[in-house]
Structure 1
C-alpha cells in the first residue's frame, strides 16, 4: 500500500477525523499511486493517521476512510460500511414513506457516494474515484441488502470533473426505471423521474420541512416557489390550503407536478402551475398587487463555495425581499438555503436585511434543518448544508 506523508502542522484536521486531506497538506507521495488507490496517511513523524483514497487530479487529494490501522480497506470493509449506513436508515421506510437517503457520502463514512431509495428503485450518484473503483461491490451489497427492482446511476456531476471522471448515467442492475416511478412521502403519492429529473430524481431532504410547513397553511393562500415536482404544494393541499400557486422554470417539473396533483385527487381548480423564472414572476406579482398568506422559497444552491458567498448573499436577499413584499401582516415566509457555505446565522442576517429593504418587521418563529437520513458528522460540519427559517411579518 502506497504512503502519503503530511507536512508538519498540516495533520491536525486528519487527526480530528476530518475526512479531507487537501493537496497543499501533502509533503511526500511514495511510489506514485494511481487515482482511486487506497493509501496510508502518516504525519511528519511517520505516525499512522488513517487509510484513504488518493486522487492527484483533485484538490481533495485524499479522502480518509478509516482511522484504525487494524481495519484495512478491503472488500469486507466496503461491504460492512455500506450495510451499516443503509441499516441505520431503513426504519424510516414505512407505509407513509418509501423514499429515503440510504447513504449520505462523508456523513456515512463513504465519501463520494449517494444512494437514494425511491420506492422499488435505487438511485446512485458517485462523486469520487475511490467509489468508482468499488462500484461493483457497492451494487452487489445493495442488491443483497435491499433487493431492489433496479439500480440506476446518475453520476452527471461537476464533482466528477474535479476527480478526473467522465459523466456516467445508466442502469447498474435489474429493470430500467419507467419514465415515472411511483413513490410515497408523508403519505402523499408522487410520480418522479429518476432518469431525467434533477439530482437523483427527488429532494427527500425536505421531507420533514414539508410536513412542518404544512402545519401553517390551513385555509391559506400559498405561493410555492422553485416547486419542482410539488413537495411543498402537495403537503399544503393535504393540510387544507385554500389555494396554491406553484412556480418553477422547468417544463419537466411543471409536467410532473400536474401528474402529482391528479394522482392524489386534489382539486385542480384550486391550483395554478406557472413555468417561469421565479425572480421575474415575483416582480410581476408585486406589480400586479398580488398578496399571499404563506410563501415558500426553496431555491437551488446559490453559493457552491465560500468564494461565491457574497454574490449568493445578494441573490438570497433580493429573492426574500421580493417575497416579503407579497406578504401582509401575519403572513408567513418559509425560506430555505441549500448552500453549505452559508451558515444559519448568516442566512438570518440576509433575511433580516431583506426585511429591512422591504420595509417589513419580521419575527423568526422556527428553524428548519435537514432530516435524519442526512446526518451531520461531528468531524465534518461541511455536511450541514440545508437550513431554513419560518418568518412572520408583524
Structure 2
C-alpha cells in the first residue's frame, strides 16, 4: 500500500528539517492520499522532497508527529525497538540508574527521546506507560511487547493523562497493559532513601522522578532547619530534608492519600520529625503567615497552573501570590525553593516573579542555583518545549 504524503506550504519546512517533531495543520498545504488517524505518512516540502516520516492524526492540532528523518526507515517494530533501546542505553550505560530491583527512573521521555507521545517509567519490577499521542496509543501492544523484550518487567501498567482523549481522539483508561498487576505499594530506592509508590492511584505515573536531583541538592541546606514542604504530595522534598538533618518538616497538601504516603515514606526511613497538614495550600500558608510562623526553608512545588496560553495570566498571578506568602513565612537568611512545571512559563519568567515579589517585600534575594529536571528527563535541542521543569534556589535575607 502506498504511504500517503503530507505536503507543506512553501517556506515552512525548515523547523522539520531541524527535527522538530510537531507539524501543526497551519503549516500544511494538502494531504495526498487518504490516511486514517494513526497511519504512517511521509512529510514532504512544497516541491515534493522528503522531510521525515510521521504518524497522522486529523483529530489533533498536531496533524503529524515526526519520528524518522531517514526515508529508508519506516515506522515499524524494528524502528521503535531501536528508539526504545537507545533511550534505555542512556539510563543504564550513561546515567547508571539501573541499580537493582528497587531502582526507579524514566525509561522514555516522549519528544526528548524522539518518541513523541510516549512516557515510560520504571518502578522496581514494574513499568508504567503513558500515551499522549493517538499514533503510539494505537501501537501500545507492540510497544508493550518491545518493553517486555528489553526490560523484562513483571508488569506494565497504563496511566492516562486528563484531557488527552479529547485532544487526540483516543479513549484510554488506566489499567493493566501487560503481565502482572502491581501491588498496592511498591517500595523504590532513591539516593539511599526508600519511597512507597502506588502505580494505580498516585499522581502522574506514581511519583515525581524528575525532582530526584533537586531534592538531593535542597537536602544539603536543611541541617538543623525548620522546613515547610508546600504541595508536598508523597513528601519527596520533606523526606529528603529530614534525612538531611532538618529539625522539623511540615508537609502540606490537599490530598489525604498523598499525605498518608508522605507519612509512610517518613516511617520507611525512620524519620520522626515529619508532620503533615491536609489543607488548601494557599489558605494554609495564609493562616501560617497570620500566625507569624516562620521557617528556614520553604519549598514551593505546585502542580501545573496552566495548560494553554489562555490560562497563563491566571497562572502567573498564582505563582506570584504563592511567592508573596513564602516571603512572609521565611526567616532571615531563609532558603526559598521555587519549582514550576508549567511549560509555558520560562526560567526567566520565574526569576522575574521572584524578583518582583522580593522587591515588594523589601527583602534582598540572591539566586543560588538554577536547576532543571534529573538527567533521565533530558531536553531535546530540537524540541526545547520538552524542558518544562524549573527549580530556582534562592537565599532571602
2:295 is matched with 292
Contact 1:194/1:200 (8 A) holds in 2: yes
Q: Displacement, 1:32?
A: 1.9
Would the alpha carbon gap of residues 191 and 41 (structure 1) be closer, same or farther in structure 2, given more than 3 Å must change?
A: same
Residues 124 and 72 of structure 1: is their aligned pair in 2 closer, same or farther, counting only changes over 3 Å? Answer: same
In structure 2, the residue matched to 1:27 is 29
Alpha carbons of structure 1 residues 18 and 132: separation in structure 2 relative to 1, 3 Å: same
Contact 2:80 2:143 in 1 (8 A): yes
Q: Which runs of 5+ in 1 are unaligned?
A: none
**Alignment of structure 1 residues 30-45 onto 2, 5 Å:** 30-45=32-47
Question: Which residue of structure 2 lines up, in the alignment, with residue 392 of structure 1?
Answer: 395
Q: CA RMSD in A?
A: 1.3
The residue that corresponds to 1:229 in the other structure is 234
1:184 partner SS = strand
1 CA distance for matches of 2:373 and 2:42? 33
| 1:172 aligned counterpart, secondary structure | strand
TM-score, normalisation: structure 2: 0.96
- Residues 360, 250 of structure 1: alpha-carbon distance in 2 compared, 3 angstrom cutoff: same
CA distance in 1 between partners of 2:75 and 2:41 (Å) = 9
| Paired residue secondary structure (1:89) | helix
Tell me the residue number matched to 1:84: 86
Q: Is the 8 A contact 2:101 2:124 kept in 1?
A: no
Equivalent in the alignment of 2:349: 346
Offset at residue 350 of structure 1 (A): 0.8
Moved >6 Å (runs of 4+): none
Partner of 2:61: 59
Partner of 1:73: 75
Contact 1:156–1:167 at 8 Å: present in 2 too? no
In the alignment, the residues of structure 2 paired with residue 241 and residue 172 of structure 1 have an alpha-carbon distance, to the nearest angstrom, of 41
Indicate if the aligned counterparts of 1:97 and 1:186 stay in contact, CA closer than 8 A. Answer: no
1:21-59 per-residue CA deviation (whole Å, 9 max, x = no partner) reads 001111111222111000001010001100000000000
Question: Do 2:210 and 2:374's aligned partners in 1 also have CA atoms closer than 8 Å?
Answer: yes
Q: What residue is the counterpart of 1:161 in the other structure?
A: 166
- Partner residue, 2:332: 329
Match of 1:150 in 2: 155
Q: 2:367·2:393 contact (CA, 8 Å) conserved in 1?
A: yes
For the pair 1:100 / 2:105, whether they are aligned, the reply is: yes
Give the superposition deviation at 1:271: 2.3
CA contact (8 A) 2:242 2:274 kept: no
More displaced 10-residue stretch of structure 1: 26-35 or 37-46: 26-35
Q: 181-190 vs 38-47, which deviates more?
A: 181-190
- Give the C-alpha shift of residue 94 in structure 1: 2.2
- The corresponding residue for 2:256 is 251
Give the SS at the match of 1:88: helix
Deviation at 1:157, TM superposition (A): 3.0
Whole-angstrom distance in 1 between the partners of 2:81 and 2:206? 25
- Whether 1:189 aligns to 2:194 is yes
- 1:135 paired with 2:140, answer yes
Q: How far apart in 2 are the matches of 1:317 and 1:380? A: 28
**Which sits farther off after the overlay, 153-162 or 358-367?**
153-162
5+ long unaligned stretches in structure 2: none
**Match status 1:272 vs 2:240:** no
Q: What is the aligned counterpart of 2:127 among 122, 126, 136?
A: 122
Partner of 1:381: 384
Greater mean alpha carbon deviation, residues 187-196 or residues 302-311: 302-311
- Contact kept, 8 Å, 1:334 with 1:389, in 2: the verdict is yes
Residue 306 of structure 2 contacts residue 312 of structure 2 at CA under 8 Å; is this kept in 1?
yes
Deviation, structure 1 residue 95: 5.7
Deviation at 1:262, TM superposition (A): 1.2
CA contact (8 A) 1:127 1:157 kept: no
Deviation for aligned residue 1:214: 0.4
Aligned residue pairs: how many?
A: 392
